[in-house]
Structure 1
Amino acid sequence: MLSGCTVSSLAARFAFFPPEPATYAVRKDEACGGGGRLVASGVPRDAAVDVLLVDTRKGSKVVAFYLRNPAARLTVLYSHGNAADLGQLYDLFVQLKVNLKVNLMGYDYSGYGASTGKPSEENTYADIEAVYQCLETEYGISQEDLILYGQSVGSGPTLHLASRLPRLRGVVLHSAILSGLRVVCHVNFTFCFDIYKNVKKIKKVKSPVLVIHGTDDDVVNWSHGNELWKLAREPYDPLWIKGGGHCNLELYPDFIRHLSKFIREMENITTKTRLKKIRQSLQPAPKKVHHRASTGTTTTFTTNCCCRIRVRKPSCRCPGCNLSCGCCSGLMSCFSSRLFKCSTCFSSCSCRGCFKCPTCFSFSCSCCRSCLKCPTFKCCCCGSCRDEQ
């Protein structure tokens, strides 16, 4: 029998398909005026594009492209799908930067493109964490101004990071997966050897989530996107592209239109509004207070009692306890919390059914009856009513 770790490593071999050879290479620009900055061969040269090598906690060096837009208010951190690298995605990045009016950071996973290391689930988590730290330290971009974008297998590292950033501006899941095993098997359980358990991590994301999926996706079934949208804590209006496949959704006009709408709405959400929503989601729902009334041996509940007193089940020695409230004319039971002392005779009341009138705030006493001021209350022991005020 194979152990969980062995099965997990086998699953990783089938999950990652880096393009071979890579469609680009990274080198230092030693030409006059280059200053030794990194450039990528195989992609157009652009002064608004930074080529970076980012060190990860797993020891890899991942390549990242940062595309600047002077009109941008938000930044998109893009995690691409399988069998692709930055060289193939460069033109798409430029289009997204221009049409969405955002800064865009794209990166290659360990073992993809010119990035070092080997592709694995844990390495992709380390990769996106390192790139996010680079955005913070090198470009001063905080999570409040960041939108995470995950396509296909890129939804794994995207939701991993999103579940750890409570003040994130938003998340986009493009042809996302519920988990690695659910792509190839129709299972309803999460096994220990499964990879990219998005079905669990989506519940921890506190920011708005936009799900985009094609109805004719033959690689990752549409049901994956639909289930992720249902599980999101703050789901945004999804985009189901009729007839869309797995790798061609960008060609549909609704794609950029709906994505632009999402970006604009996220720009208008202030940090104060986001924090307020988070606090409201963490507060427990208020409990309804019911007021109990008793008639003999039958106990009922009433919610329209004007005196707003919550009473207990009668524990008076008199079996025929029948106290009438002058405020709402409803029947109320006796308090049995403790014995009160009469303000006149200073003796403990022998009636265990002493109560406080919500109108005159005085106690009834069966000892001397001199402390009863409200004529609408009766003592459950003697059954007499004090007439004088």
Structure 2
Amino acid sequence: LHAWHILPLDLYRQHQETLVQDSDGLATDVKTRLSFKLLQDDPEALLVLYFHGAAGTLGSGFRPPSYRAMYAGAPSRIHTVAIDYRGFGSSTGKPSEEGLLIDALTFADWAITEAGIPPSRIVIFGQSLGTAVGLSLAHRLLYSPSPISDSPVSFSGMVLVAPFVDVELLTASYRVAGTIPILDPLAYCSPRLLAFFNTFIRHKWPSKEKIAEIIRYYHGRTDGTYHITIVHAEDDYDIPWSHSDQLFWHGVRAARGASDLENGGLTFEDLQMEKEQTKVELGAAWWVATHQTEDGVLREEIAKWGLHDRIMSYPIVSLAVLRAFRIPVNDEVK
């Protein structure tokens, strides 16, 4: 797997003269690099595992500016490591749902066992396709034994930017340039025909199920809590922000558990009405809805603007990453 390690800016400033003496190009043994040692040897270092979207590579589009957004909240502590999945960029292999999950597991194993960063100092960041990969990773490490640990692995938090409910709903709701529907008419005129077409979808990426099961895992536990933030822009023409509304709903239903089911279940419309009463408007920029229990925190943050990928470099994402590390608000952040 091809990966980039992005140092926090202030840490780079402190060691710039030595860092620039490292050879250019790919590092065949990353452990020999000063950047790796700065991550491994710092007991206060924080790490973002970055999972990008479906198109392009590590260096495409708005991804490089978004790496700066990862460390903006703590410019001497937050490291970012991003990978190209198999079949992307310089990484070998052929992409598939299971293959990308294996890549994510390998990535997390490297971070925990090789770099020595405990899960409590790791945040999972995903955008678009990367949100499904990140959710699948977190779910697998909670519910199934892995090479990383025989016991469940719980990360500090997750930030999901422009997520989707699952591939079936994504294909049904896709519109060219945000206006011309492709399969949406079938959903209304011929649901059975749409269901038939969906049988040909090989890779499902059922994020709505993963987020619900992750949240259910923490019910009544005393050894950890979840912290999940969903971020979306209203002008996202690739994945409508209604997907984030749906994911938030599935997460809240899971968080309310048995008490919700006893009342007949929380409908999507019920939650939308609740949010209208409880969401916090942050000026003209964005609004936030929060659902918090003793088991954890689920946040939905919807920005007015940001498109599909430009939003990754915005302060809304920097703040979400910082919160996911659970640094108290009144603590000094460096």
The two structures have a TM-score, normalised by structure 2, of 0.56
User: Amino acid of the residue matched to residue 141 of structure 1?
Assistant: I
Aligned CA distance change for structure 1 residues 229 and 123 (closer, same or farther; 3 Å)? same
Once the two structures are superposed, residues 212-232 of structure 1 have per-residue CA deviations (whole angstroms, 9 ceiling, x without a partner) of 011121111111111112222
1:80 to 48, 52, 56: 52
Does residue 143 of structure 1 match 2:119?
Answer: yes
Structure 1 or 2: larger helix share? 2
Measure, in 2, the Cα distance between the counterparts of 1:69 and 1:241: 37
Per-residue deviation at 1:110?
Answer: 0.5
* Aligned match of 1:99: 73
Identity across the alignment (%): 26
Measure, in 2, the Cα distance between the counterparts of 1:219 and 1:210: 20
1:229 to 241, 248, 263: 248
2:319 to 237, 240, 257: 257
Decide whether the 8 Å contact of 2:161 with 2:232 is kept in 1: yes
Measure, in 2, the Cα distance between the counterparts of 1:251 and 1:104: 14
Aligned CA distance change for structure 1 residues 160 and 139 (closer, same or farther; 3 Å)? same
- SS of equivalent to 2:211: helix
Per-residue deviation at 1:137?
Answer: 1.9
* Aligned match of 1:373: none
* Aligned match of 1:128: 104
Decide whether the 8 Å contact of 1:72 with 1:103 is kept in 2: no
* Aligned match of 1:153: 129
Aligned CA distance change for structure 1 residues 266 and 163 (closer, same or farther; 3 Å)? farther
Aligned CA distance change for structure 1 residues 258 and 169 (closer, same or farther; 3 Å)? closer
* Aligned match of 1:38: 26
The two structures have a TM-score, normalised by structure 1, of 0.49
Measure, in 2, the Cα distance between the counterparts of 1:105 and 1:267: 25
- SS of equivalent to 1:154: helix
- SS of equivalent to 1:255: helix
Once the two structures are superposed, residues 181-226 of structure 1 have per-residue CA deviations (whole angstroms, 9 ceiling, x without a partner) of 2112156988674521111111121422100011121111111111
Does residue 183 of structure 1 match 2:192?
Answer: no
Decide whether the 8 Å contact of 1:179 with 1:194 is kept in 2: no
Larger gyration radius, structure 1 or structure 2: 1
Decide whether the 8 Å contact of 1:155 with 1:174 is kept in 2: yes
Once the two structures are superposed, residues 72-131 of structure 1 have per-residue CA deviations (whole angstroms, 9 ceiling, x without a partner) of 543211100121312333443244234344122211100111100112212111110111
Q: After TM superposition, list the pairs within 5 Å mapping 1:211-290 onto structure 2.
A: 211-232=230-251, 233=255, 234-265=296-327
- SS of equivalent to 1:239: strand
2:204 to 167, 185, 195: 195
User: Amino acid of the residue matched to residue 71 of structure 2?
Assistant: K
2:156 to 146, 169, 179: 169
Aligned CA distance change for structure 1 residues 130 and 217 (closer, same or farther; 3 Å)? same
Aligned CA distance change for structure 1 residues 47 and 107 (closer, same or farther; 3 Å)? same
Q: After TM superposition, list the pairs within 5 Å mapping 1:334-345 onto structure 2.
A: none
Decide whether the 8 Å contact of 1:183 with 1:219 is kept in 2: no
Highest RCO, 1 vs 2 (Cα 8 Å, sep ≥ 6)? 2
Measure, in 1, the Cα distance between the counterparts of 2:39 and 2:69: 11
Paired residue total: 218
Measure, in 1, the Cα distance between the counterparts of 2:313 and 2:247: 23
- SS of equivalent to 1:231: helix
- SS of equivalent to 1:205: helix
Decide whether the 8 Å contact of 2:69 with 2:312 is kept in 1: no
Decide whether the 8 Å contact of 1:67 with 1:105 is kept in 2: no
- SS of equivalent to 1:110: coil
CA RMSD across the alignment:
3.5
Once the two structures are superposed, residues 274-303 of structure 1 have per-residue CA deviations (whole angstroms, 9 ceiling, x without a partner) of xxxxxxxxxxxxxxxxxxxxxxxxxxxxxx
Decide whether the 8 Å contact of 2:71 with 2:80 is kept in 1: yes
What stretches of structure 2 of length at least 5 have no aligned partner?
Answer: 5-20, 143-153, 174-186, 216-225, 256-295
Decide whether the 8 Å contact of 1:69 with 1:98 is kept in 2: no
Per-residue deviation at 1:165?
Answer: 3.2
Aligned CA distance change for structure 1 residues 87 and 194 (closer, same or farther; 3 Å)? closer
- SS of equivalent to 1:183: helix
Aligned CA distance change for structure 1 residues 87 and 139 (closer, same or farther; 3 Å)? same
Per-residue deviation at 1:144?
Answer: 2.6
Measure, in 2, the Cα distance between the counterparts of 1:113 and 1:218: 25
Aligned CA distance change for structure 1 residues 266 and 153 (closer, same or farther; 3 Å)? farther
Measure, in 2, the Cα distance between the counterparts of 1:110 and 1:68: 26
Decide whether the 8 Å contact of 1:72 with 1:102 is kept in 2: no
Decide whether the 8 Å contact of 2:69 with 2:314 is kept in 1: no
Aligned CA distance change for structure 1 residues 227 and 72 (closer, same or farther; 3 Å)? farther
Q: After TM superposition, list the pairs within 5 Å mapping 1:274-353 onto structure 2.
A: none
Aligned CA distance change for structure 1 residues 140 and 69 (closer, same or farther; 3 Å)? closer
Decide whether the 8 Å contact of 1:143 with 1:165 is kept in 2: no
